[in-house]
Structure 1
Amino acid sequence: MPRSSMTAIGIWRKIIFYFVLITIWELAYRLGVGYLKAWQPDGFPSPIKIMRVFLTLIQDHTLGSAVLTSVIRLAFGFGISLVLGFFLALILLRYKSLQENLSPLLLGLQALPNVTWVPMAIFWFGLGESTILFVVVIGSTFAITLAVESGIKNVKSIYLKAAQTMGSKGLKTYRNVVFPAALPEIIGGLKQGWAFAWRGLIAGEMLTQVNGLGEILVAGRERADINQIIAIMVVIIILGLTVNKLVFERLEANIRYRWGLD
């Protein structure tokens, strides 16, 4: 069967699966609210009501503005994290004493939930953009640092010996051998850092109530509108999956193709 036909069949299977899932969800809502009286209408989300909220947010430009603002914040903060993460990783690899002492600390800091940084950020920067940026950066930098450090440190020694045998030295070895060999693990760290950055962004926007997706979540909570809350959660999931599909999966596919893994 041609690859295009298999792809089309896979897409239709997913569409049918989610259609059935949403239908069951709506039936559960109607059964629980209308017949069994198991919960209140505002205590259980309805897919149809979620879609209505979603369309309303689009029509009044609230959603578009929030998505654009949040994505710009996220891209800017994640860009800073990339620079800091790679810089810290190279410093740790250069100085073994720092690596031995700081790596466990960075691992512990990475384990901290992003939201724990928000009170400190508010204390330092107040309620504003700087607080959100700080939380995004601090939440993703350590994951990137540890991934780059681990990826480069775990490059097989046989690659280095082969490069030295062929006369490769210094930066040339890093550019042509070490960094390409470490890329799969580095990409995994970037994906993890991106996920942490997303969480930090939403946490910062929720607590500072600055314009963005997090602020719309808080507005839904204040109005006791569970459908608005779920609608924004769905938007966040879709954005995350889109970035993963368009950026990270393509990077991984290119790496696998270049190294002959496909």
Structure 2
Amino acid sequence: MVFRSGLWPEFSFPSPVGVMSNLWAGFRDTSFLIAIAVSLKRVITGYFISLVIGLTLGLTVVRVRYLDENLSPLLLGLQTLPSICWLPLAILWFGIGEDSIIFVIAIGSIFSISMAAVSGIKNVPPLYMRVAKTMGAKGLKAYTTVVIPAALPSIISGMKQGWSFAWRALMAGEMLSPKDGLGYALTVGRDLADMNQVVSVMIIIIVLGLVIDKLIFGRLESSIRYRWGLDRA
């Protein structure tokens, strides 16, 4: 095994036994439970803000041709910007604390959600609109009853991607947090050269991501795809 080969010291390449012991100790003294609760509260708050702003921005941009032509390239550029680049601005505007972390989380996923909404609506087959007009649905009614529901598979995919961006932004923000959170636990493990803790937190983050994807986004995506005949139940 690599951790027994002697090529690296144990503190830089921890053993599975050390990682499992650290996980057990962290859950037994509730330190990991507290970190998970704090991080979930932050990421849910920031993600909800990004969801509201992102969907509103995307739906507005795709409805107004002038905004579409001028803002879409900007949104695409901002989507590629790593969340950690917003940290200096967040600290300058809000200081080191909860507000700056929430800001980084929200700004990290807003643009991916917006672009997913724009792309999804633009890719709705024109035939749907013609059918809607034939049946008497026009203007805003056709938009809300036909276009947006048809674009939901793409919008859900964007929401899923935005959630992953929110988690990455959370870790970046919490590494500057004065206390609590999984990102803070990562920082403590790094400062103490305790790679068992670092790997333990990484495992917790992976498991949380898989559970949330399976229980929430997976079911939502499957339901939407089944409704539109894109998948079987």
TM-score range, shorter chain: over 0.9
Aligned to 2:228: 259
Q: Among residues 104, 124, 130, which one is paired with 1:135 in the alignment?
A: 104
1:238 to 207, 213, 217: 207
- Aligned equivalents of 1:252, 1:60: Cα separation in 2: 37
1:28 aligns with 2:2: yes
Give me the identity figure in percent: 52
Q: Are residue 41 (structure 1) and residue 26 (structure 2) matched? A: no
Q: Distance in 1 between matches of 2:164 and 2:206?
A: 11
Q: Do the aligned residues in 2 keep the contact of 1:209 with 1:218 (CA within 8 Å)?
A: no
Q: Distance in 1 between matches of 2:210 and 2:168?
A: 14
The DSSP-based 3-state class of the residue aligned with 1:168 is coil
TM-score by length of 1: 0.85
Q: Which residue of 2 aligns with 1:7?
A: none
Correspondence 1:224 to 2:193: yes
2:88 to 119, 123, 130: 119
1:12-31 residue CA offsets vs partner (Å, 9 max, x unmatched): xxxxxxxxxxxxxxx3323x
Residue 42 (structure 1) shift: 1.3
Kept in 2: contact 1:86–1:145 (CA 8 A): yes
Q: What does residue range 1-262 of structure 1 map to in structure 2 within 5 Å?
A: 27-30=1-4, 32=5, 37-261=6-230, 262=232
User: Partners of 1:38 and 1:77 in 2: how far apart?
Assistant: 42
User: How much has 1:236 moved relative to structure 2?
Assistant: 0.5
Asked if 2 retains the 8 angstrom alpha-carbon contact of 1:128 and 1:210, the reply is no
AA aligned to 1:248 is F
- Per-residue CA deviations over 1:153-183 (Å, capped at 9, x if unaligned) read 2111001001111111233212321111101
Most deviating of 164-173 and 49-58:
164-173
SS at match of 2:8: coil
1:24 alignment partner in structure 2: none
Measured after TM superposition, the shift of residue 133 of structure 1 is 0.4
Structure that is richer in helix per residue: 1
1:125-168 deviation per Cα after TM superposition (whole angstroms, max 9, x unaligned): 11100000000000000111111111112111001001111111
SS for the counterpart of 2:37 is helix
Aligned-partner residue type, residue 22 of structure 2? V
Instruction: Give the letter aligned to residue 136 of structure 2.
Output: G
User: Quick one: structure 1 residues 210 and 102, their matched pair in 2 at CA, closer, same or farther if it must change by over 3 Å?
Assistant: farther
Secondary structure of residue in 2 paired with 1:41: coil
Q: Moved runs in structure 1, 4+ residues, more than 3 A?
A: none
Verify the 8 A CA contact 1:70 1:212 in the aligned structure 2: yes
CA deviations on 1:43-65 (whole Å, 9 max, x unpaired) are: 21211100100111111111001
Larger Rg: 1
Aligned residues: CA RMSD: 1.1
Q: Which amino acid aligns with 1:28?
A: V
Give the drift of 1:120. 1.2
Q: Which runs of 5+ in 2 are unaligned?
A: none
Letter in 1 for 2:3: Y
Q: Secondary structure at the match of 2:59?
A: helix
Q: How many equivalent residue pairs?
A: 231
Structure 1: give runs of 5+ residues left out of the alignment. 1-26
